[in-house]
Amino acid sequence: MPQASGSSLKTPIQKNGDSVGRILTEEDIRLQEKANIEAALHKTGWKIYGTGGAAELLGPKPTTLLPASKKWGLKKPLDLRH
């Protein structure tokens, strides 16, 4: 059976039925996670807890989301700080 090289693993694959995508590397997944958390924080005005907060949008508990946002170095913009 032929072995696949690392570069050939990034070829398009079938996902969600008929849509074509590519396989994400660990780095791609990490960057996508960071961008997703950041987008949720921006959308909620950097509210993490409670109704309408980023944790509610994304699914994890706020106590999980807060360390993840710190891990990525995401900080509330100065104009949104009280």
73: left (phi over 0), alpha (psi -120 to 50) or beta: left
Q: Domain for residue 66, yes or no? A: yes
pLDDT score of 7: 44
* Higher per-residue pLDDT: 15 or 69: 69
Amino acid identity, position 33: E
pLDDT digits over 26-71, tens only?
999 999 999 999 999 999 999 999 999 999 999 999 999 989 888 8
pLDDT score of 15: 53
CA-to-CA distance for 20 and 66, rounded, in angstroms? 33
Q: Domain for residue 70, yes or no? A: yes
Can you give the pTM of this predicted structure?
0.67
* 3 pLDDT higher than 50: no
Backbone angles phi, psi at 37, to 5 degrees: -65, -45
Domain count, the chain: 1
Backbone angles phi, psi at 22, to 5 degrees: -125, 160
CB atoms within 10 A of CB 57: 16
Range of 37's domain?
26-76
